[in-house]
Amino acid sequence: MNAPHPAKVAGIDSTVPSPAHTVAPVTPGASPDTAPNATDAAEVRAAPGAPCAPGALLQDRLAGWVSDLTTLHELTERLVRTGSLSEGLQEVLRAGAALVGARRGLVVLEPADGLGPDTTVGLGLARADLGHIETVPRSALSYGRILDGLPVGADGITEPDLFAEKNLDPRHRQVAARLGYAASYALPLSAEGTGTIGTGAAETTTGATGRLGAAVWLYDDPAEPGERQRHLAGLYARYASQHLARLLEVERTRARMATMAEELLPSRLPRVPGVQLAARHRTGPRGGGDWYDALPLPDAALGLAVGSVTGSGPSAVAAMGRLRASLRAYAVMEGEDPVAVLSDLELLLRLTEPARSATALFGYCEPALRRITLAGAGHSPPLLIGERRTEFVETSVSAPLGMLACWEAPSVEFQAEPGETVLLYTDGLLHRTGDPADRAFARLHAAAAGVPRAERHDPDAVAEHVLRTVLPDGKADADSEEDVVLLAVRFE
């Protein structure tokens, strides 16, 4: 009498290949070291003449399916916790290696839409190793055939023994011998349809669909993944591709916003006799409204400005560009009166951006006299850094632009000594520290006072030292909602 076919249980499809592993019963009183392993148990059950009840078979299959589902759940949970494309690619490589039993591998990201980014990430492979693999003709590599759109089976491309293949490309044979791998298994990474980011009104569709790239895992000896391993790896790859498509779209958005913000800022700082200039700009993933400017003015003068527009994202970046362009025009017309420049800017902001406010600092610099006339609207005071003093410049207290019906505040004038540097910055430098305002200002002052003597002649080194000291441990380059701007002006 034939045993009944196992039915679907809890949504598990019984047509999925049976797991190769099984849980072996432990003999009472036997130590774990002497207990038979899963392979031994499978051999006993599969031995001719061995009794195998339908219930035991079903229980064995259920145990295998539960184990596989648990493994996939854990690996996908780790994947969704990745927040950047590079982290996601590394996690896919690690998870795939665990599923197919490999030690090394690489992912080649090459979206079919041609919008990039194109990159290669390795697991257990140094940059030089990846360079050697890239010297192999693309058509001779399994992932190259995937990227070129050639037909690929549902289980990917398996090369169980490279050196046994008669038609193996000579260069591929040479590289494989050099790097010490003898077999490979490749899977396509393809996101079908469109994914979504966010929920509700903030939900947007991702544009990175279709082929994203290919992943290949390398074996040190001739080997190939089993049927069950290929099945699990394929399930994981399909889910991972959707997640990578979302991360790819986020990466593209960040790159676009960074490019837009950089294009709206000075492409290079002017060369003006008597002063040296340097700047630093760090923007968040969504793009922000912090900006800086330095422009030559009539009578060998120099206009210096930093500012910040409220909000983030494309609208804030666009508002920042409009505000900076307007300030340049006002500075050319009446730059010797910084109060008039900011008054005009405030009127423009109130008329054209009624729902937005901004902080700004504008200085009329006369390099020959080492003198700066300064006006500020809700902005942090500049920092004067010299051999004998490190102090904040006293400025008048004023509301940000757009906060009052009519803005006006007195200007201040100060003079620097030869070799001193004036540091202008935006509030994002202080906010990124996470400290209260008084402690953040104290940290900034200590960082400026601690600039090494050998670096004080270089405004670029001064700005870099202050940035890395105030924001240590990668805070300066980490994703943040706060933009950071520093503009260093050294008087000769």
Positive/negative CA dihedral, 464, 466, 472, 476: negative
Residue with the bigger pLDDT between 405 and 325: it is 325
* Residue among 382, 362, 394, 380 nearest 430 (CA): 380
* pLDDT reported for residue 250: 86
pTM of the model: 0.63
Q: What is the DSSP code (8-state) at residue 397?
A: -
The closest alpha carbon to 471, from 427, 434, 423, belongs to 434
Delineate the domains of the chain, giving CATH numbers in brackets: 57-196+205-256 (3.30.450.40), 264-491 (3.60.40.10)
Q: Match 């690996």 to its residue by tokens.
A: 75
Under 8 Å between Cβ of 79 and 92: yes
Q: Kindly report the CA angle at 74 between 71 and 78, in degrees rounded to 5?
A: 140
Please say if the pLDDT value at position 254 is more than 70.
yes
Reduced to 3 states (helix: H, G, I; strand: E, B; else coil), residue 307 is strand
Q: Which helix (H) or strand (E) holds 290?
A: strand 288-297
Q: What per-residue confidence (pLDDT) applies to 214?
A: 95
Using the structure block, give the residue that is written with the tokens 């950071």: 484
Mean pLDDT within 160-175: 94
What are the φ/ψ torsions at residue 50 (nearest 5 degrees)? -75, 135
| Per-residue pLDDT at 193 | 54
> Band of the pLDDT at 16, cuts 50, 70, 90?
very low
Whether the pLDDT of residue 422 is over 80: the answer is: yes
Run of H or E residues at 467: helix 459-470
Q: Is the pLDDT reported for residue 439 higher than 80?
A: yes
Tell me what pLDDT residue 141 has: 94
Q: What is the pLDDT of residues 336-394, one digit of tens each?
A: 999 999 999 999 998 888 888 999 999 999 999 999 999 999 899 999 999 999 999 98
Residue 472 has pLDDT above 90, yes or no: yes
User: Residue range 154-180: average pLDDT?
Assistant: 93
pLDDT category at 25 given cuts 50, 70, 90 is: very low
Give the position of tokens 């994703």: 479
Q: Which of 247, 251, 213 is nearest to 119 (CA)?
A: 213
- List the one residue out of 468, 352, 346, 340 whose CA is nearest residue 410: 340
Considering only CA atoms, which of 103, 102, 99, 105 is closest in space to residue 229? Answer: 99
Cis peptide before 382 (omega within 30 of 0): no
pLDDT at residue 263, rounded to an integer: 78
Read off the pLDDT band of 308 (50, 70, 90).
very high
Tokens matching residue 178 = 């050099």
pLDDT in tens, 54-106: 778 888 888 878 888 898 999 999 999 998 899 999 999 999 999 999 999 99
Contacts of 327 (CB under 8 A, 6+ apart): 293, 305, 307, 341, 345, 360, 362
Distance set, CA 20 to CA 53, 213, 223, 280 (Å):
18, 30, 16, 58
Q: How many residues does the chain have?
A: 492
Region at 85 (left for phi over 0; alpha for psi -120 to 50; beta for the rest):
alpha
**Residue 27 token pair:** 């003999």
- For the cut 80, the answer to whether the pLDDT of residue 22 exceeds it is no
Distance CA(318)–CA(331), nearest Å, equals: 20
